[in-house]
Amino acid sequence: MSAGVDAVPLAPRWHGAEIAAVRAGAPALARVTVENAGRATWHSLGRDGLQLAYHWLDPLGNPVVWDGARTALPRPVGPGDSLDVTVAVVAPRPPGRYVLRFDLVEEHRFWLEELGCETLDVPLEVLPRIARRSLGVVVHGGADDDTEAALAAQEEPLAEAGAEAEAVAHLVSGVVPPPDWSRRILDAHAEGWAAVGTAVVPAEGRIAGRRARRALAPWAPGGRNPRLGAPLLLPSLLAGMEPGRHLGLPAHLGGDGLFEGRVTVRLPRRSGRRPT
């Protein structure tokens, strides 16, 4: 808070918010009504000036996401005037009970809450990112016996061919995902990730295996990482998303993705690919 700032000129009075169901990690829109109950006119100056923003808090009031996205006021708001603002928010991960707290921020200076002004707190139940645990599979190049056997042995059964699925995993012929692959993929989607990739290693005894292992080093088995810094290989994507290509494999090239390094998918012994 800046010293000497008088809280009286900046006094919001909140009249409520409307927001549809929110899903973990997903964008949503809220309609917020706020009145200028102070003496100073509110101005947004591009990305500066007074902005409408938000925090996500846990049920105990601890901040989970502090610097929510800013929404500029569409026009000057004089004393006694009210404004309806559509605010874009992104729900936190994982699903659960949260408080969405709306506040005004004088960019680079202070939040009005720091001056003793009231905020608008909206308790919300953040839902899983996927409505159903339903995973489909596309095997690029067609499934061989090893891939079909591995998919049939999954801990969590896959969606039947032709059925609508909440997410679709993109594999290649000959890969053998472990039995817990489908369960962990769906867990990550439910947690709030639009794209989920796994560790990828070459088949044992593969020709030029050392070269392949070097090329696949960024995707070596390990922990979970939302900031891998490389495309997600053999990804599972929420319905409606399409993969790109990297190292000759289906890949997710954008954001909102998780590297699930606790799951390892082994490439086929002869894939026809030469990772470089």
Both tokens of 80, joined, read 């006694």
Residue 150: what are its φ and ψ, rounded to 5°?
-65, -40
d(CA 267, CA 254): 23
- pLDDT at 212 (0 to 100): 77
- Report mean pLDDT in 10-residue bins for the chain, 276 residues: 52 95 96 96 92 97 95 96 96 98 95 95 98 96 92 95 91 95 98 98 65 88 96 97 96 97 87 42
d(CA 123, CA 96): 11
Around Cβ 43, how many Cβ atoms within 10 Å? 13
- Per domain, the residue ranges of the chain are 12-126, 135-266
- pLDDT at 62 (0 to 100): 96
Does an H or E element contain 189, and which? helix 181-191
For residue 2, count CB atoms less than 10 angstroms from its CB and return exposed for 0-12, middle for 13-18, buried for 19 or more: exposed
Give the DSSP letter of residue 270: -
Q: Which residue type, as a one-letter code, is found at position 145?
A: D
- pLDDT at 47 (0 to 100): 87
3-state secondary structure 23-74: ECCCEEEEEEEEEECCCCCECEECCEEEEEEEEEECCCCCEEECCCCCEECC
Which CATH entry fits the domain spanning 12-126: 2.60.40.10, 3.40.50.300, 1.10.540.10, 3.40.50.740? 2.60.40.10
